[in-house]
């Protein structure tokens, strides 16, 4: 957990929540329009590949229809859970408070690294995606800003058939 | 469909180039519900210590994906992408995405390629670095 440091900011309570579900979200069914808009926004000012917007073309591909780009985010706006009337929880930034644990004191938190992994199963129109977020590990080191506490947030997505779609690991540093 | 593209270690992918414009970033803000003012308001960006508005990290990550897809075509697929953000991509700059094949392996009968990724600005300042693994066929 620690490398080259004399003390740790990782409390036993923090260690105990590693691997526990911090938050769970469920998307509304993905629409073709959602996918088209995402692809247009990413590829602007060029046209996106027709797989992401042309239904007639997409039917001729191995997918049999439009699929979403791997990085597509179905949780950006309203979700089935939490509903639009519930307090919005940021998808990336986090706090141990969400699991009832006091976080360490720090003056800054930065996202330093993103690791995405994907299955061969793509997100398609009609899919409902479930996101489960956990803290997967802590590690510490001394850096330019002093004692650096790193936490990896793991966000696993599965579709309505419980097929694994994607896992995003976001590494945050606090100092 | 189902064809394996010919790849060798050392191959370089076609460059992926985008200008840093609010017209682009606003479109991404709209689909990703990402409206932090430092991405579009010069005064806010300056107040936070940046010389100009800068691109969202998820869009920079999407650029890596788009570059890989442009190269792979529909016959391949992205298995993983990692990215470390080294510095902001500011409005008015030009981002160039680069990638180089560093390894080729066959895993469970499927041909995989490992790649080093980077994004630089027009002064060759590194904006992001990363790695990717892709499948080259649809076995």
pLDDT in tens, B41-65: 999 999 988 999 999 999 999 999 9
- How many contacts (CB atoms, under 8 Å) link A and B? 80
Exposure string of A134-172, with b = 16+ CB inside 10 Å and e = fewer, is: bbbbbbbeeeeeebbbbbbbbbbbbbeeeeebbbbbbbb
pLDDT value, residue A91:
56
- Residue B101 or residue B108, greater confidence: B101
**pLDDT over 70 at A3, yes or no:** no
Domain boundaries, chain A: 2-29+79-174, 31-67
Integer Cα distance of B136 and A69 in angstroms: 17
Domain boundaries, chain B: 16-20+55-135
Integer Cα distance of A161 and A87 in angstroms: 28
**pLDDT over 60 at B3, yes or no:** no
pLDDT value, residue A146:
86
Residue A118 has its nearest CB partner, among B2, B33, B78, at B78
CATH 1.10.287 given to domain A2-29+79-174: no
Tell me how close the Cα of B88 comes to any Cα of chain A, in angstroms: 12
Mean pLDDT of chain A, nearest integer = 91
Contact B1 A69 (CB under 8 A): no
* Best CATH choice for the domain B16-20+55-135 from the list 3.40.50.12160, 3.20.20.80, 3.20.20.20, 3.10.129.10: 3.10.129.10
- Residue B82 or residue A110, greater confidence: B82
Residue B84 has its nearest CB partner, among A112, A118, A120, at A112
Confidence class for position A1, pLDDT limits 50, 70, 90: very low
pLDDT value, residue A88:
62
Residues A140-169: tens digit of each pLDDT: 999 877 889 999 999 999 999 999 999 999
Other C-beta atoms closer than 10 Å to the C-beta of A84 total 10
Mean pLDDT over residues B104-132, rounded?
Answer: 96
Mean pLDDT over residues B18-28, rounded?
Answer: 97
- Mutation target for A interface from B21, B29, B34, B62: give the one with most A CBs within 10 A: B62
**pLDDT over 80 at A32, yes or no:** yes
């Amino acid at each position: 957990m620690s490398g080259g440091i004399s003390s740790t900011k990782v409390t036993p309570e923090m260690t105990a929540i590693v691997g526990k579900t911090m938050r769970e979200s469920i998307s509304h069914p993905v629409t073709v329009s959602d996918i088209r808009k995402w692809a247009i926004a990413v590829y602007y000012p060029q046209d996106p590949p027709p797989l992401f917007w042309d239904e007639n073309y997409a039917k001729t591909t191995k997918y049999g229809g439009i699929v979403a780009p791997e990085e597509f985010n179905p949780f950006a706006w309203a979700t089935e859970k939490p509903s639009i009337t519930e307090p919005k929880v940021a998808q990336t930034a986090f706090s141990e408070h969400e699991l009832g644990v006091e976080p360490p004191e720090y003056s800054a938190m930065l996202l330093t690294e993103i690791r995405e992994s994907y299955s061969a199963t793509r997100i398609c129109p009609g899919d409902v995606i479930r996101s489960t977020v956990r803290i997967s590990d802590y590690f510490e080191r001394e850096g330019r800003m002093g004692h650096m506490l790193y936490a990896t947030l793991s966000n696993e997505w599965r579709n309505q058939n419980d097929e694994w779609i994607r896992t995003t690991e976001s590494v945050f540093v606090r100092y | 469909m189902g064809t394996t593209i010919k790849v060798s270690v050392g191959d370089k992918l076609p460059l992926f180039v985008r200008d840093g414009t609010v017209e682009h970033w606003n479109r991404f803000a709209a689909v990703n519900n990402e409206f932090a003012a430092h991405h579009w308001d010069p005064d806010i960006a300056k107040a936070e210590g940046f010389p100009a508005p800068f691109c969202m990290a998820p869009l920079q990550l999407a650029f890596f994906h788009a570059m890989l897809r442009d190269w792979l075509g529909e016959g391949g697929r992205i298995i993983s992408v990692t990215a470390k953000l080294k510095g902001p991509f500011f409005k008015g700059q030009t981002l160039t995405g680069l990638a180089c094949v560093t390894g080729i392996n066959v895993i469970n009968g499927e041909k995989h390629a490992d790649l080093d990724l980077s994004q630089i600005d027009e002064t060759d300042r590194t904006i992001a670095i990363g790695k990717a693994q892709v499948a080259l066929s649809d076995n």
